[in-house]
Amino acid sequence: MAHNGISDFRSDTVTWPTPAMYEAMASAPLGDDSFRDDPTVLQLEVLSAQMMGKESGLYCPSGTMANQVAGRVHCPPGKEVILDEDCHTLNFELAGLAYAGLQMRPIAGERGLMACDDVAERLRVGDSHTPGTGLLWLENTHNLSGGRVIPRENIVELSQIAHRASVPVHLDGARIFNAQVASGISAKRLAEPVDSVMFCLSKGLCCPVGSVLCGSEDFIEQARKVRQLLGGTMRQAGIIAACGLVALRENIDRLAEDHKRAKHLAEELTDITGIELNPDEVDTNMVYFRLGEGAHLNAPQLVEEAHKEKVWFLNLGEDTIRMVCHKDIDDDDVERALQVIGSVLGKGGDGG
Ligand SMILES: Cc1ncc(COP(=O)(O)O)c(C=O)c1O
């Protein structure tokens, strides 16, 4: 349901906590997590690690920080990280890995899917002139590819290739539970081939804050120090970790509703003149579309016009729009968005 009368499709990060989360926050046992005596944080880390099939977990303030920590623990400065050119880390995390002294080596994937041969070809041991590969970086679901679920086989094969060259693999699983719900394959199985995985609680799972980095005990011990270096150690963080526990127990299965709404939205949008989109490419909760021939407005203009009607979404550049479904978007919000976009683009109000 829209908050403040606004149908907010900008991101699943705009979700508000559920009533169960407010209750859990009020009664969470707390401590100072820098001394590791916040029982709620510890419980969240244990549950997260179990769900990812890893030995340990580390609660971090954001996905960006958890990714940053992972890069720094896996790779000493001067090494190279192989990643997809459209991944979130390369595009939206302010070159964080570069500040860690790492060189990012992007590969052109096919809608987020990196070809095994391309990765194998680029792995290198390093010599007096070339940096050695220090890490392979994967993302699932793949945000810029429209929330695409990267198939498990691809993750398995790429991880095998990297491991054969003694290169570790990190998975940015910000929305790994969307991948779980859409594919029917557990997050644990999806993360099984990789050495570390990060997932976000603050997106479709509706927590106000937080992400968890999971990996081996030794990896997480080192990660704890890097989190401190980056200023990410928190104190009575159980108050927010309590929401994470609720999210992992109660909010995963409902992601299917978001996926269903996103599919419906995509199917209906294709009827609006000027919109280019393939609904078959909508795997999860994100809908990306292009404004092509026949659209009288560009993407920033469409965003501005819809904003006036209290329907909010984002543009990427001049011709691409992103809309994301989440707990606080219901069927009425979808219908309203279709109606507004349809009428702004000149179709005449029924949204198609
Ligand atoms: C794929 C992916 N990775 C990482 C992040 C970063 O997470 P945060 O916003 O918590 O820093 C995002 C955020 O949208 C994301 O989509």
CATH of the domain at 199: 3.40.640.10
Rounded mean pLDDT of 14-23?
A: 98
Rounded mean pLDDT of 28-54?
A: 98
Q: How far is the C-alpha of 12 from the C-alpha of 174, rounded, in Å?
A: 11
Residue 172 sits in the same domain as residue 107: yes
Spacing, Cα 63 to ligand 1 middle (Å): 5
Rounded mean pLDDT of 55-59?
A: 98
Query: What is the tens place of the pLDDT at every residue in 291-336?
Result: 998 898 999 999 999 999 999 999 999 999 999 999 999 999 999 9
∠ at Cα 330 (326, 336), nearest 5°? 115
pLDDT at position 1 is 64
Total of domains in the chain: 2
Atom of ligand 1 at shortest distance to CA of 202? 10
Q: Within a domain: residue 350?
A: no
Spacing, Cα 148 to ligand 1 middle (Å): 15
Atom of ligand 1 at shortest distance to CA of 67? 4
Indicate if ligand 1 lies below 6 Å from the C-beta of 33.
no
Place of tokens 């198609």: 352
Indicate if ligand 1 lies below 6 Å from the C-beta of 86.
no
Q: Within a domain: residue 87?
A: yes
Query: What is the tens place of the pLDDT at every residue in 166-188?
Result: 999 999 999 999 999 999 999 99
Q: Within a domain: residue 352?
A: no
- Contact in structure between 134 and 102 (CB atoms under 8 Å): yes
Residue 259 sits in the same domain as residue 308: yes
Place of tokens 């570390």: 196
Q: Within a domain: residue 1?
A: no
Atom of ligand 1 at shortest distance to CA of 62? 10
Which of 14, 84, 139, 143 has most ligand 1 atoms within 8 Å of its beta carbon, as the pocket-test mutant?
A: 143
Domain endpoint, select from 232, 250, 268? 250
Q: Within a domain: residue 2?
A: no
Indicate if ligand 1 lies below 6 Å from the C-beta of 321.
no
Domain endpoint, select from 250, 278, 303? 250
| pLDDT exceeds cutoff 50 at 349 | no
Indicate if ligand 1 lies below 6 Å from the C-beta of 285.
no
Residue 265 sits in the same domain as residue 129: no
Nearest protein CA to atom 16 of ligand 1, as residue:
143
- Contact in structure between 298 and 268 (CB atoms under 8 Å): no
List, in sequence order, every beta strand (DSSP E) within the chain: 7-8, 56-60, 80-84, 103-107, 133-139, 169-172, 196-200, 211-215, 275-276, 286-291, 311-312, 314-316, 320-324
> What pTM does this model have?
0.97
Residue 258 sits in the same domain as residue 328: yes
Q: Within a domain: residue 349?
A: no
Which of 10, 90, 92, 149 has most ligand 1 atoms within 8 Å of its beta carbon, as the pocket-test mutant?
A: 92
Q: Within a domain: residue 244?
A: yes
Q: How far is the C-alpha of 220 from the C-alpha of 58, rounded, in Å?
A: 7
Indicate if ligand 1 lies below 6 Å from the C-beta of 139.
yes
CATH number at residue 296: 3.90.1150.10
Nearest protein CA to atom 8 of ligand 1, as residue:
63
∠ at Cα 138 (137, 142), nearest 5°? 140
Domain endpoint, select from 250, 273, 308? 250
Residue 266 sits in the same domain as residue 340: yes
pLDDT at position 2 is 72
Indicate if ligand 1 lies below 6 Å from the C-beta of 195.
no
Indicate if ligand 1 lies below 6 Å from the C-beta of 232.
no
Residue 50 sits in the same domain as residue 142: yes
Spacing, Cα 64 to ligand 1 middle (Å): 6
Indicate if ligand 1 lies below 6 Å from the C-beta of 174.
yes
Q: How far is the C-alpha of 32 from the C-alpha of 241, rounded, in Å?
A: 13
- Domain boundaries, position 305: 7-13+254-344
Please give the helix or strand (H or E) that residue 257 lies within, else none. helix 255-269
Q: How far is the C-alpha of 19 from the C-alpha of 185, rounded, in Å?
A: 29
Residue 33 sits in the same domain as residue 169: yes
Q: How many CA atoms are closer than 13 Å to the CA of 188, on its beta-carbon side?
A: 8
Query: Measuring CA to CA, which residue among 221, 223, 159 is closest to residue 194?
Result: 159
Residue 228 sits in the same domain as residue 131: yes
Rounded mean pLDDT of 201-220?
A: 98
| pLDDT exceeds cutoff 60 at 347 | no
Residue 215 sits in the same domain as residue 284: no
Tell me the torsion sign for CA atoms 250, 184, 266, 271.
negative
pLDDT at position 340 is 98
The backbone torsions φ and ψ at residue 344, rounded to the nearest 5 degrees and listed phi first, read -65, -40
Q: How far is the C-alpha of 207 from the C-alpha of 225, rounded, in Å?
A: 25
Q: How many CA atoms are closer than 13 Å to the CA of 83, on its beta-carbon side?
A: 26
Spacing, Cα 62 to ligand 1 middle (Å): 8
Indicate if ligand 1 lies below 6 Å from the C-beta of 275.
no
Query: Measuring CA to CA, which residue among 184, 181, 171 is closest to residue 211?
Result: 171
Tell me the pLDDT of the chain averaged across its residues.
96
Query: What is the tens place of the pLDDT at every residue in 142-174?
Result: 999 999 999 999 999 999 999 999 999 999 999
pLDDT at position 134 is 98
Residue 121 sits in the same domain as residue 38: yes
Which strands make up the sheet holding 286-291, listed edge to edge? Answer: 275-276, 286-291, 320-324, 314-316
Residue 87 sits in the same domain as residue 221: yes
pLDDT band at 350 (very low <50, low <70, confident <90, very high): very low
pLDDT at position 351 is 36
Spacing, Cα 342 to ligand 1 middle (Å): 30
Tell me the torsion sign for CA atoms 265, 270, 272, 276.
positive
Q: Within a domain: residue 127?
A: yes
Rounded mean pLDDT of 276-301?
A: 96
Residue 203 sits in the same domain as residue 269: no
pLDDT band at 344 (very low <50, low <70, confident <90, very high): very high
